[in-house]
Amino acid sequence: MNFSDVIVDSLKYPFSDVKKLLIMFLLLLGSIILIPVIVAYGYLLRIIEHTLQGSDELPDFGDWGDLLGDGIKFIAVGIVYGIPSFAIVLLIMTQSSGTLWGINSVLLLSLVSVLVGFLINIFLSIGLANMVYEKRFGAAFAFGRILELIKQIGWKRYLAFLVILTAITEVLSFIMGLITGLIQIGGVGIFIQLFVISAIFNCYLFIFTSRFRGLIYPNKLEVPEYLETQEDEI
């Protein structure tokens, strides 16, 4: 796929099956009891896997135990990759005192968070896809292999992909902020509405991001027999 095709495909992909999109939304809506959101994260890895196999539709939600296990892996990878960001923010907060803790500190925190987050995402995006491809947890942290894969994509092309991904994420976040800012109902009502809006936003963004990661990964998985059968029927 060329540059624009990857972006357009990823943006449209969440709507390839509205029923499965709704299931994902309900899982995120039930995140207050933890298990559903872990399953949802596992589904994101399944999206990457099916993308690597050449599928253009959202995968099924079968094998819930596998989804739960994959969700735990996804969260574990996210925690490990998130340690540098947390450490830097914590360091800045502990070093800031008195008049330093004000607008300047907030701006510094924001700038550092964005820069560190972007650097981490360089490895995280390919790392998650590599874990799916190699079917082993450690592949998410095989940095030598990850750098090799990025070289195959091309550094300029890959960084351009990530810039666009970040820009789209920020635009969607801004839109969500506008919507939540228009909510006038107070008390429990506003909490419920904000929770639902957040679930809608994250549902689309998570699926879009997972599809994106699968599409930019330079290697592809062997297409399983059931997908080949479906293609033959089409």
Q: What is the mean pLDDT of residues 196-218?
A: 92
Given a cut of 60, is residue 224 above it in pLDDT? no
Residue 5 included in any domain: no
Percent of the chain exceeding pLDDT 90 equals 52
Residue 63 Ramachandran class (φ > 0 left, ψ -120 to 50 alpha, else beta):
left
Could you tell me if 81 and 126 are in contact, meaning their C-beta atoms sit under 8 angstroms apart?
A: no
Provide the b/e sequence for 63-95 (b: ≥16 CB within 10 Å): eeeebeebbebbeebeeebeeebeeeeeebeee
Q: How sure is the predictor about 70, in pLDDT bands with cuts at 50, 70 and 90?
A: very high
Whether 198 has a pLDDT exceeding 50, the answer reads yes
> Angle, nearest 10°, between helix axes 35-52 and 18-29?
150
Question: Does the pLDDT value for residue 40 go beyond 70?
Answer: yes
pLDDT tops 50 at residue 232: no
CB atoms under 10 Å from CB of 12, counted, come to 12
What pLDDT is recorded for position 85? Answer: 80
User: Residue 99: which pLDDT band, with cuts at 50, 70 and 90?
Assistant: very low
Tell me, yes or no, whether 3 lies in a domain.
Answer: no
Question: What's CA 85's distance to the chain center, in Å?
Answer: 17
Could you tell me if residue 206 is inside a domain?
A: yes
Q: Is the pLDDT of residue 204 over 50?
A: yes
Per-residue model confidence as pLDDT tens digits over 163-175? 998 888 888 888 8
- What token pair was written down for 119? 């650097």
Q: How far apart are CA 103 and CA 109, in angstroms?
A: 10
Q: Report the distance separating Cα 48 and Cα 128, nearest Å.
A: 9
With bands split at pLDDT 50, 70 and 90, how would you rate the model's confidence at 233?
A: very low
The answer to whether residue 94 scores a pLDDT higher than 80 is no
In a domain, residue 36? The reply is yes
Looking at the 3D structure of the chain, how many domains does it have?
Answer: 1
132 or 62: which leads in pLDDT: 132
User: Mean of the pLDDT values across residues 178-196?
Assistant: 67
Q: Which of 64-73, 143-152, 153-162, 191-200 has the lowest mean pLDDT?
A: 191-200
Average pLDDT over residues 185-195: 64
Structural domain contains residue 51 = yes
Q: Which of 31-40, 85-94, 198-207 has the lowest mean pLDDT?
A: 85-94
The 3-state DSSP composition of the chain as helix, strand, coil percent (nearest 5) reads: 85, 0, 15
> Can you tell me the distance from the alpha carbon of 123 to that of 120, in angstroms, rounded to the nearest whole number?
6
pLDDT exceeds 70 at position 34: yes
Burial readout 195-230 (b: 16 or more C-beta within 10 A, e: otherwise): eeeebebbbbbbbbbbbbbbbbbeeebeeeeebeee
Could you tell me the residue range of the domain that residue 124 belongs to? 10-228
Residue type, 111: L
Compute the mean pLDDT over every residue in the chain, rounded to the nearest whole number: 84
